[in-house]
Structure 1
Amino acid sequence: MIETMFSMQPNQLFEATCGSLAELLRKPDSIKAELSAEEFRSLCDLLGKIASSRKDTLTLKMKESIIHCLGFLSSHALQTNLYGQILTQLYATGEIASEPEMHFTIGESIADVAFSESSPMRRNIFTESEETFL
């Protein structure tokens, strides 16, 4: 799915791909373990470019999904410099974002980076209660 994102043009399929990737990254045992540090950096750069793009073809929902992807990239075993890479992309997106909704989403994602796998946003609301999540 990640390779597909590198070559896709913005359309409805791309919006679904962004949402699916965010849901995949929400789980702690997802595809992040398979990425090398260089692949991780290139993925962060790609997601950051998409999130901070000013193109009209990218909907607010696409950008919000991508911002959630950036937040969900963090994990307890992640190297410190890779945390910095995620935060750099989120801060850059926040400087460019003009919609207030995006600023709220960026704030949620920064909290996701800080809490990592313990973030309340990572809870499956259908199978886990708030009491049993942590």
Structure 2
Amino acid sequence: MNPKAEEILFALGGLVIEPVNKSGPNFSNDEPFNFDPISAGAGQRALALEIEEALGGRYFPIGEWLSYSSVFVEAGGRVVAAGLGWIWEMGSTIEDALELAARADRPLVCLHSDAGLEPWPR
């Protein structure tokens, strides 16, 4: 576990952030940001390695969010969500990620998609 993940999970573990803005305008955001240190880490090392290969850095899971994607924090603080073959930017800090998860205040940006998958959203 990187120190940033440890700090976040210590402060926010068990917290569930419900979205305030569920219908956009940037994307449908109808699932909570769930900080779960147990299920976040269960079986996620392979996905963390995929993220590290695609983006560089050292990532550790901290929870779940949209479409049950897994949320990871990089040792420097960047937060991404990954699942179903995509990696999305949540923010350069945990505060930015919380804003996106609660308010859908900016477009969701796809950082990487697996071979054969179109980036979503474009």
Q: Which structure has the bigger radius of gyration?
A: 1
Fold equivalence (TM over 0.5): no
More strand by percentage: 2
* TM-score normalized by the length of structure 1: 0.25
More helix by percentage: 1
* TM-score normalized by the length of structure 2: 0.27
